Structure 1
Amino acid sequence: MGFAAFLYGRKADREVIEIVDEEKLKEKVEEYLRSLQEKGFRITSQRRLIVETILQNWDKHPNVRELLDLIQEKDPSIGLATIYRTVELLVEMGFLHEVNLDEGFSRFEVSRKDIHFHLVCRGCGKVVHLEDEDQKSQVAEEWAQDMGFTLLPQSIELFGVCHECLEKGFDPSRVPQRECRCRRRRRMHRGLM
């Protein structure tokens, strides 16, 4: 199974990691598992499978339910709670980054050490990584420095409508603004706070 390349790192110390074959994938899985073990976490066959599945699907920005479906194809005994706990652990350790595409749930991607941009179509939900990301990241960093800020590594989601949806007649002016889905604001809107 082949995998596309992904990049992470600041421009000055850019580290390129290509997952193009099973051997590279295994090396990356072992690196993640070694780090977990060094922090005192047990390496179970379930954790191994979860990490492998995440790395195999890094470019799809899977949510936990999608991970569950992919993982249960290989091992039906692994439950949703196990996947949630493992994903939460990987986020806490900095291996995964939570991506909010304004869908009411989180998606996840392999963490990067730079600013990373996504274009998200409001019509079909397609997610595209911006080209010339280094250049756009540099502009954002310069803008922040001009304002007295130092940017942290992060994912920035830009919402729009893709060319295919426009060709199919999707009207961008009819795209509703998404309501905040955080629990506190929902409770405020219901008058519970």
Structure 2
Amino acid sequence: MSITMAELRQKFRDRQYKLTSQRQTILQAFLDHPDRHLSAEDVYTIVRKQSPEIGLATVYRTLELFNELDIVQRLDFGDGRQRYEINETSTPHHHHHLICLSCGKVKEFGDDLLETLESAIAKRSKFAIVDHQLKFYGYCQECQKRREG
């Protein structure tokens, strides 16, 4: 499922925030790169080509606002850089990540096999679980070939 700019505009209206031209430009960077998990620096590099007046500080502030509004989801892959992706659904657990330790490539997978385990843990511990993240660290196919050869 891919979210559209019209749906994102509606999210801003629903939350009574203005979708300024700068915010729209930053959102467009995510829509134009749906398969990437962008850092603030990545977003800045993308948007400054179209809108050189947008500074890095603006990108950081805007990403924080987007995160607070659940427009984007902040991700930590353990490499010291916060990354972001568009939050396409209102329900958590939509996908997880495979992270290559060699090249840093991040691949998504949608199988959520943890639902049963999560339900059992919640019931047994009397804990209201609202979200989880699953990350697998290893080597992508290309890096495996380089390591073997």
TM-score range, shorter chain: 0.7 to 0.9
- Aligned CA RMSD, in angstroms, stands at 2.2
Q: Distance in 1 between matches of 2:52 and 2:118?
A: 45
User: Gaps spanning 5+ residues in structure 1: where?
Assistant: 1-16, 20-27, 171-193
- Structure of higher RCO (CA pairs closer than 8 Å, 6+ residues apart): 2
Q: What does 1:131-146 align with in structure 2 at a 5 Å threshold?
A: 131=110, 133-134=111-112, 136-145=113-122
Instruction: Provide TM-score, normalisation by structure 1.
Output: 0.65
Q: What does 1:39-118 align with in structure 2 at a 5 Å threshold?
A: 39-111=15-87, 112=89, 113-115=91-93, 116-118=95-97
Q: Distance in 2 between matches of 1:70 and 1:103?
A: 21
Count of equivalent residues: 144
Tell me the equivalent position of 2:145: 167
Instruction: Please tell me whether Structure 1 or Structure 2 has the larger radius of gyration of its CA atoms.
Output: 1
Instruction: Provide TM-score, normalisation by structure 2.
Output: 0.82
Tell me the equivalent position of 1:128: 107
1:110-165, Cα deviation, whole Å (9 max, x unpaired): 2242223101010111111125x13x132442443354344323432221122322
Q: Distance in 2 between matches of 1:140 and 1:57?
A: 33
Q: What is the percent sequence identity of the aligned residues?
A: 28
The Cα of 1:100 is off from its aligned counterpart by 0.5
The Cα of 1:54 is off from its aligned counterpart by 1.7
Q: Distance in 1 between matches of 2:36 and 2:57?
A: 21
- Structure 1 stretches of 4+ with a deviation exceeding 3 A read 37-40
1:7-42, Cα deviation, whole Å (9 max, x unpaired): xxxxxxxxxx335xxxxxxxx223323332443433
